[in-house]
Structure 1
Amino acid sequence: MSNKATHPPDTPLYPIREVSRLTGVNSVTLRAWERRYGLIRPQRTPKGHRLYAQDDITRIERILQWLNRGVPVSQVADLLDQPDTVEAPAPNAGDWESQRQQLQAIIEALDLPKLEAFYHQSLALYPLSAAINELWQPVVLTLEAKWAVQPDELVRRTFEAFLRSQVGIRLHYANQATRGPLILLNVMPDDPGPLWVLMAALMASEQGYRVQLLDHSLPLEDLPQAVARLHSSMVLLSSGQREADAYIRQALPDAAASLNVPIGVCGEVARLRDGELRDTSVHILGDDLPQAIARLRPLLRESGVL
């Protein structure tokens, strides 16, 4: 399929905001794909406004399919006209690894201007789920493993402060723009910082939820009051640690059984403690954050919120 904007005169055309709604790709990303990689080439009105035909929308959906298979955006152009049966290139054939190395180096160098530019570029070029899955989550995992052996509180706290400010701005405006269910997001007691919960907050906000983020652990006994006063539809807890046995095996299941909204768990703790929580009232959402947030909708539907 060609990416040239040559359509019959009677072809229905859609403005960028409608294409964004139909595909789930924000307008900033659509413009970046066009300008930087030439992946799509919409028509223009005399005033320069973009107009997309149905085959443009189909092309965007194919781009998403390749990105969701782990292909970096720099390689997508060569694959768009290939049959669906063509296998994605091996992960090490792309530039994800080089991007991860670059991001980690920027974080460890405390180069905040470069970190801000990298952050905005990654969210412009990729759907958030791909940016989290292929870039930010792997780097956080690598850094946390490194910090467990060789702590670097300055780098950790600086990185946390950066993400807190960026995510906070995004949540502020997103919460005003949506009427979706309110998710109360909180870290677990043993997590040394809010990195996992900040990434979860980004994903939840992107999926249309209002997010109340608490990046310091709230005692489980205070959750009923927090849910009632904040009018939360569910509680989502996150951690990159195993958490204490007593917390996982008794305190958390007891809290979930007594709360009148669902409690979900995501992050590394969900993978590490899956077997111990599986037969409790706690909902195990997994350590893959995009998948974890995707599981919220059926869970909220089952509980009668949606």
Structure 2
Amino acid sequence: MRWSAGAVARMLGVSPVTLRTWDRRYGLGPSTREQGRHRRYSEDDVHRLRRMLELTGQGVAPASAAAVALGDPPPSRARSGGGPHALAVESEEARGFARAAARLDLPLMSTLAATLIARDGVVRAWQDVLMPFLIALGERVSAQGNGVEVEHLATAAISGALRSEAARFPVPVAGRLPVLSACAPEEQHSLPLDVLGAALAERECASRNLGARVPAAALLDAVSLLSPGVVVLWAHVADYALSAPVASLLERGQVVLLGGPGWEPVPAGARWVASLPEAVDTCLS
């Protein structure tokens, strides 16, 4: 697999501007070029960027984090076994899911996604197989102008599997709800919040996801009712992020986490999380 800068930005939840800065300053850029096309990120390039995000999320200075990321050897596919990179997009699981998606076989996609999540956990299944598959599919739909039905049905299958996984870990909420998540007004892509909810459930952390296109007033009403410890807001587009009631939440003393590439600049007082593992760890801290 080879990814464009925009696809990698969406995959990692960072701004394309951040990727360009890291490329220019630290050499963490795409290493391959396809004939007649722009430079593309390889799987090893994405591995280094994930390492960069992991280290900076731990407080390591960017220059030092980049040096470590560049010095780390890429994961060995031949020897990875059950390690975190065993399920690369070239895996049989990914190929099987792609074949089922091409046939619009919703039951099989649902079964494959559920099996993968149950076997390898939400974070690993999402980052190594499901998210790269959806991004590659989205790029093909955009380039060819067809296949939207495949994209929609695949998303539905993955979302259903994630919600079922979350339901396997019913955690009673005593008093304050730990995490409340919602999309910014007009933001329709709620799948990342389904992923977060399932990942939190695996860690026995209760959460509620209000879903897509949540009006500001509705979100504030839900916060008043549930008194969450953390509010997570997702926005893929800056225009949608601007209409989210971040300032009102902060005025109430609410802890606000922001996900997605739409938050630039990040509102003062809120925290932007760059990856799913960081979001999970922050919600649990």
TM-score higher than 0.5: yes
The one-letter code sitting in structure 1 at the alignment partner of 2:169 is A
Distance in 2 (alpha carbons) for counterparts of 1:189 and 1:148: 24
**For 2:170, what is the secondary structure of its paired residue?**
helix
Identify the residue that residue 165 of structure 2 maps to in structure 1: 170
Query: In 2, are the aligned partners of 1:184 and 1:236 still within 8 Å (CA)?
Result: yes
Query: In 2, are the aligned partners of 1:160 and 1:194 still within 8 Å (CA)?
Result: no
Query: In 2, are the aligned partners of 1:178 and 1:210 still within 8 Å (CA)?
Result: yes
* Partner deviation per Cα, 1:205-231 (whole Å, 9 max, x = no partner): 222211212222222233332112123
Correspondence 1:272-291 to 2 at 5 A: 273=263, 275-277=264-266, 280-286=268-274, 288-291=275-278
Identical counterparts, % of pairs: 13
228, 248, 263: which one aligns with 1:255: 248
How far did 1:75 drift?
3.9
Structure having greater relative contact order (Cα 8 Å, sep ≥ 6): 2
233, 240, 245: which one aligns with 1:237: 233
Distance in 2 (alpha carbons) for counterparts of 1:71 and 1:227: 46
**For 2:107, what is the secondary structure of its paired residue?**
helix
Query: In 2, are the aligned partners of 1:72 and 1:95 still within 8 Å (CA)?
Result: no
* Partner deviation per Cα, 1:164-196 (whole Å, 9 max, x = no partner): 433333333423467694311112234333222
4+ residue runs over 6 A deviation: 71-74
Identify the residue that residue 224 of structure 2 maps to in structure 1: 228
Higher mean C-alpha deviation, range 168-177 or range 128-137: 168-177
Query: In 2, are the aligned partners of 1:189 and 1:243 still within 8 Å (CA)?
Result: no
How far did 1:119 drift?
1.3
Distance in 1 (alpha carbons) for counterparts of 2:117 and 2:162: 12
How far did 1:236 drift?
0.9
Query: In 1, are the aligned partners of 2:100 and 2:109 still within 8 Å (CA)?
Result: yes
**For 1:76, what is the secondary structure of its paired residue?**
coil
266, 279, 284: which one aligns with 1:292: 279
Give the number of equivalent residue pairs: 208
Structure 1 230/111 Cα, relative in aligned 2: closer, same or farther at 3 Å?
Answer: same
The one-letter code sitting in structure 2 at the alignment partner of 1:209 is C
How far did 1:71 drift?
6.4
Distance in 2 (alpha carbons) for counterparts of 1:252 and 1:152: 35
Identify the residue that residue 113 of structure 2 maps to in structure 1: 119
Distance in 1 (alpha carbons) for counterparts of 2:122 and 2:252: 31
2:176 pairs with 1:189: no
Identify the residue that residue 107 of structure 1 maps to in structure 2: 101
**For 1:192, what is the secondary structure of its paired residue?**
coil
2:152 pairs with 1:157: yes
Query: In 1, are the aligned partners of 2:181 and 2:233 still within 8 Å (CA)?
Result: yes
**For 2:157, what is the secondary structure of its paired residue?**
helix
TM-score (norm: length of structure 2): 0.60
Identify the residue that residue 265 of structure 1 maps to in structure 2: 258
How far did 1:101 drift?
4.0
**For 1:174, what is the secondary structure of its paired residue?**
coil
Unaligned runs of 5+ in 1: 1-68, 80-87, 299-306
* Partner deviation per Cα, 1:119-148 (whole Å, 9 max, x = no partner): 132123313322122112222322333444
* Partner deviation per Cα, 1:228-277 (whole Å, 9 max, x = no partner): 212322211224x2230xx535754423422332121123x2xx53x400
The one-letter code sitting in structure 1 at the alignment partner of 2:149 is L
90, 97, 101: which one aligns with 1:98: 90
The one-letter code sitting in structure 2 at the alignment partner of 1:76 is G
Query: In 1, are the aligned partners of 2:230 and 2:283 still within 8 Å (CA)?
Result: no
Query: In 1, are the aligned partners of 2:123 and 2:199 still within 8 Å (CA)?
Result: yes
**For 1:155, what is the secondary structure of its paired residue?**
helix
* Partner deviation per Cα, 1:96-138 (whole Å, 9 max, x = no partner): 1223344334234321232123113212331332212211222
Distance in 1 (alpha carbons) for counterparts of 2:182 and 2:255: 14
**For 1:98, what is the secondary structure of its paired residue?**
coil
2:124 pairs with 1:130: yes
Query: In 1, are the aligned partners of 2:216 and 2:243 still within 8 Å (CA)?
Result: no
Structure 1 164/251 Cα, relative in aligned 2: closer, same or farther at 3 Å?
Answer: closer
Query: In 1, are the aligned partners of 2:190 and 2:211 still within 8 Å (CA)?
Result: yes
